[in-house]
Amino acid sequence: MRATYATKPREQVSAVLRREKRYLSAAEIHAILRKSRTNVSLSTVYRTLDLLAGKGQASARVDERGETTFVVCDQSHHHHAVCNGCGKVEDVSCEAIESVAHALRSHHGFKLADHEMEFFGTCGACR
């Protein structure tokens, strides 16, 4: 049974994610940490992100340039609204899926098991 140590580097990486609340790549997090004279190796940033994603405390998405980016989020099923202006991500509860599930079943004979949704737009602060 693998124990998990609470280490300084891990705390520093998740602190960045909690503070920024937007999708960040490993390289971006690494750069942010360096700027505040906090030295965490890029490898450790990668490993910590995998760890957080594995525990469901972070969610990953591949951006348009092909880099994997991460954002903090809670474990429960939900979706993300990403602001095109500031990049901030808000958790959105899952509604209006029932009707889609129904349509999928009746129109396509498709039994829905899982789904993913992402929203893009402008947040309140950016308007």
Partner DNA sequence: CCTAATTTGCGAATGATTTGCAAAATCATT
Partner DNA sequence: AATGATTTTGCAAATCATTCGCAAATTAGG
Using CB positions, name the residue nearest to Zn ion: 94
31 binds, among a copy of itself, Zn ion, DNA, none (CB under 5 to 8 A by kind): none
H/E stretch holding 43 reads: helix 42-54
The Cα 112–Cα 100 span in angstroms is 9
User: Which residue, 31 or 86, is less far from Zn ion as judged by CB?
Assistant: 86
User: Which residue, 47 or 78, is less far from Zn ion as judged by CB?
Assistant: 78
Token pair listed for 30:
């690494």
Non-local (6+) Cβ contacts of 87 within 8 A are 22, 23
Please report how close the Cβ of residue 113 comes to a copy of itself at its closest, in angstroms.
4
Token pair listed for 127:
């308007």
User: Which residue, 43 or 121, is less far from Zn ion as judged by CB?
Assistant: 121
The Cα 60–Cα 39 span in angstroms is 23
85 binds, among Zn ion, a copy of itself, DNA, none (CB under 5 to 8 A by kind): Zn ion
95 binds, among a copy of itself, Zn ion, DNA, none (CB under 5 to 8 A by kind): a copy of itself
